[in-house]
Structure 1
Amino acid sequence: MKVNVKNISGEDTGKSVELIDDIYGVEPNDHAVYLDVKQYLANQRQGTHKSKERAEIAGSTRKIKRQKGTGTARAGSIKSPVFRGGGRVFGPRPRDYSFKLNKKLKKLARRTALSYKAKAERVTVLENFNLDAPKTKSFLNILHALSVQQEKSLVVLDNVSANVYLSSRNIPNTKVVTVDKLNTYEIMNANHLILSEGAVEKIESLFNSKATA
């Protein structure tokens, strides 16, 4: 499908780019999307949760009452989980939540996510641009010109631009990433995808079905 290229003023430049079917028109694979999003969210977890079990609680190990004849259950330590202040039974322990996914599956998930956005006509191609200085108002003007200021937007650049990044980081519901950091979760989470011309070319080289990376 062909998409007209716009400038930062929201006007057509007279140019257009071809969004190839191998990336923006694939047969959706929802399970691949599910697995890739699941891995992304799992990788965000620190896994540092910890609670103390009875062996780690500070307290006396004296037998608190005689074994028999009290009419209540036997108890051997104040650190028992049945008492207030005792250890926790099967509490959380530090662990790594990450898991492996094949590169081909991850690439298929990203192509599926991009295809969903293209099919919904939620992809805008923007002429390559940069900002002279980090200024939030300048970036807001671009969003207003593209009529996406009220939407959750993901701006994808081909290379790192410090001024663009700094200008966007205070704007809610807007995120700027480079192609190499593009992931399925953020594509699906955004209402609108804004790609620079350079990003379109780089996506084609990285995410097409024949790419080995």
Structure 2
Amino acid sequence: MKVAVLDITGKDTGRKVELSNEVFGIEPNDHAIYLDVKQYLANQRQGTHKSKERGEIAGSTRKIKKQKGTGTARAGSIKSPVFRGGGRIFGPRPRNYSFKLNKNLKRLARKSALSIQAKDSNLVVVEDFNFETPKTKEFVNVLKALELDTKKSLFVLGTESKNVYLSSRNLKNSKVVSATGINTYNVLNAGKVVIAESTLEGIESNLSK
């Protein structure tokens, strides 16, 4: 698959690059995508939720009424979950939601995500670029030139593009990552995936192992 290379003003440079079919042209594996996205979202969860159970509630432990003769159910501590202000039954406890996936499955999921975006013509290849200083305004101008100012976008740039990354941090619809920072969720969540020309080789070498 050949894709035209654009500059940051959105103009065609007249050059084309060949995308590897092993990375950008495979048959997508839906289950691998599901598992990788599930793991990513699970890793975002802090797992710090906690509610107090009856043993953790502050309150008297005296028996609040006699055992028999009241016509109602037996009752002991006021901290019982059946009473207002009592402990919670089987409440949430702190836990770790993360789980393990093997590298081959994660690699397959990411290739599947890139292949879906390539098939839908949502991949854009641009010349390498950087800013002299971090400026959000300059990054916004790039988005407008590429007609991405109203869309969600993922920029995959080289590690030397730190100023571009810093310029994009305040924009909620754009995300800048390196070739090694690609994940399935971000690729599929983007309306357009913009890849710097020099990072293509890194992406293909990382995912074609």
* Structure 2 residues not aligned, in runs of 5+: none
The structural deviation recorded for 1:160 is 4.7
How many Å separate the matches in 2 of 1:152 and 1:137?
Answer: 17
Give the 3-state SS of the residue equivalent to 1:195 in structure 2.
strand
* TM-score of the pair, normalised by structure 1: 0.96
Counterpart residue identity of residue 75, structure 2 = A
Deviation readout 1:9-37 (Å, 9 max, x if unpaired): 11122222111110000011000000000
Confirm whether residue 139 of structure 1 aligns to residue 133 of structure 2.
no
C-alpha separation in 1, matches of 2:171 and 2:50? 35
Alignment-derived partner of residue 115 in structure 1: 115
Say if 2:16 is the partner of 1:16.
yes
Match of 1:86 in 2: 86
Read off the aligned partner of 1:175 and give its amino acid letter: K
- Deviation track 1:39-93 (CA, whole Å, cap 9, x = no partner) reads 0000000111110000111111100100000111110100000111100000001
Tell me what 1:30 maps to. 30
Alpha-carbon contact 2:129-2:161 (below 8 Å) kept: no
Normalised to the residue count of structure 2, the TM-score between the two structures is 0.98
Partner of 2:48: 48
Contact kept? 1:158, 1:202, Cα under 8 Å: no
Instruction: Name the CA distance, whole Å, in 1 between partners of 2:44 and 2:137.
Output: 31
CA distance in 1, matches of 2:49, 2:171: 32
**Aligned with 2:55: secondary structure?**
helix
Which segments of structure 1 move beyond 3 Å, counting only runs of 4 or more? none
State the alpha-carbon separation in 2 of the partners of residues 77 and 111 from structure 1: 58
What is the alpha-carbon root mean square deviation over aligned residues? 0.9
Q: How many aligned residue pairs are there?
A: 209
CA contact (8 A) 1:4 1:12 kept: yes
Percent identical pairs in the alignment equals 65
